[in-house]
Amino acid sequence: MIQEEILKFSGRDAKKEDTTVTVGGGKTEKVLIGGGHFQVIAGPCSVESQEQLEIIAKGVKAAGAAMLRGGAYKPRTSPYSFQGLREKGMEIIRSTREKTGMPVVSEIVDIRHLELFEDVDVLQVGARNMDNYELLSELGRQSKPIILKRGVSATVKELLLAAEYVMKGGNDQIILCERGIRTFETATRNTLDLSAVPVLKGMTHLPVIVDPSHATGAYSLVPPMALAAVAAGADGLMVEVHNEPAEALSDGPQSITMERFEKLMESIRNIRPYAYKK
Ligand code: PEP
Ligand code: MN
């Protein structure tokens, strides 16, 4: 078991009460997550066009999602896969955010891009960058909330130590995300380590969310694992949703349609009636 003193900022010993992270406000709606506030982040894996992001944003908002996700810089396993719309994608994010008032989450892969993320409300650090300590330290000097995703081969302790890199710089607005780890199992894209949710909640005051999309890699597995995550005590979910999954430029097989998303949100309300407390 980890020694409490190592977790100077993120540990339960550092702060007894759960941290509530405040997202947006100002140009967008203000959203609280953690400390009893449950929220769903939804949207496409990649920003593909103005039309695509707007259709999805309006759909997921109507269904109850509080934040929109969408990657413009995509860290793909193959350099020959779609790499994201990059600067153009950031423009699309900006205008969709303005039109819908939804706070936006997008992945930052390089600290040199920081200026381009001015209109992004939550900076996502992806699984591949969880141990990019220079990036984490720099994000510690920012005032925006961070979603820190667990690396595919990272232990819970390593995830929390990565959070320490950010918090050490003064940024305590961190949301941890369990998104599946690599195991010998090949039936799913990754193995969703759901026990990490209560384990983390015991060790840290930071909010913990679950991404059932990257964890499973298959759209049919997303609703059951999303519901399991809610039952396990997650403070929120991040779900990939697409208006035309078959046409998606990335992660189509794990993207759920807007209709399925709507049904999922209804099921979440049934098992956690106090969800979406503002
Ligand atoms: C993503 O959220 O689109 C993503 C790339 O996730 P991960 O870093 O968990 O693979
Ligand atoms: Mn994805």
50-79 pLDDT, tens digit each: 999 999 999 999 999 999 999 999 999 999
Taking the C-alpha atoms of residue 267 and residue 88, their distance in angstroms, rounded to an integer, is 36
Side-chain-side CA neighbours of 265 within 13 Å: the count stands at 23
With a 6 Å cutoff on the Cβ, whether 189 touches ligand 1 is: no
pLDDT at 3: 52
Q: Are strands 21-24 and 146-149 parallel, antiparallel or unpaired?
A: unpaired
The finding on whether 242 has its CB within 6 A of some atom of ligand 1 is no
Region 170-194: mean pLDDT is 98
- pLDDT the model gives residue 73: 98
- Give the residue carrying structure tokens 């900076």: 123
Q: Each residue of 187-203: pLDDT tens digit? A: 999 999 999 999 999 99
Distance CA 201, CA 112 (A): 33
* Alpha carbon of 151 to ligand 1 centroid (Å): 10
Q: Break the chain into its structural domains and give their ranges.
A: 39-269
Q: Is the CB of 150 under 6 A from ligand 1?
A: no
Ligand 1 centroid distance, CA of 237 (Å): 13
Phi/psi class of residue 217: alpha, beta or left (left: φ > 0; alpha: ψ in -120 to 50)?
left
> Residue 184 — pLDDT band, cuts 50, 70, 90?
very high
Closest-approaching ligand to the CA atom of 240: 2
Nearest-CA residue for atom 10 of ligand 1:
127
Q: Per residue in 92-120, pLDDT tens?
A: 999 999 999 999 999 999 999 999 999 99
| Nearest CA-CA partner of 211 in 190, 226, 196 | 226
Section 260-272 average pLDDT: 95
- Quote the pLDDT of residue 278: 45
Residue 178 makes CB contacts below 8 A (sequence gap 6+) with 150, 192, 193, 194, 196, 197, 200, 208, 209, 210, 211, 215, 229, 234
User: Considering the chain, what is the average pLDDT of its residues?
Assistant: 96
Residue 256 has pLDDT above 60, yes or no: yes
What separation in Å is there between the alpha carbon of 242 and the centre of ligand 2?
Answer: 11
pLDDT in tens, 18-43: 999 999 999 999 999 999 999 999 99
Calculate mean pLDDT across residues 128-133: 98
Instruction: Give me the percent of the chain exceeding a pLDDT of 70.
Output: 96
- 140 CB near ligand 1 (under 6 Å): no
CA-proximal residue: ligand 1, atom 3 (nearest): 45
Q: How many other β-carbons are positioned within 10 Å of the β-carbon of residue 232?
A: 18
Q: Evaluate if residue 273 carries a pLDDT over 90.
A: no
The protein residue whose alpha carbon is closest to atom 6 in ligand 1 is 126
Query: Which CATH superfamily includes the segment(s) 39-269?
Result: Aldolase class I (3.20.20.70)
Which of 135, 152, 179, 250 for a ligand 1 pocket mutation test, highest count of atoms within 8 Å of Cβ? 179
- Please tell me the distance between residue 154's alpha carbon and the centre of ligand 2 in angstroms: 19
pLDDT band at 4 (very low <50, low <70, confident <90, very high): very low
Res. 272 pLDDT band, cuts 50 70 90 = confident
Tokens coding 147: 């979603």
| pTM for this entry | 0.96
The residue contributing the CA closest to ligand 1 atom 4 is: 126
24 close to ligand 1 (CB < 6 Angstrom): no
Judge if the beta carbon of residue 70 lies within 6 A of ligand 1: no
Q: Which run of H or of E encompasses 137?
A: helix 133-139
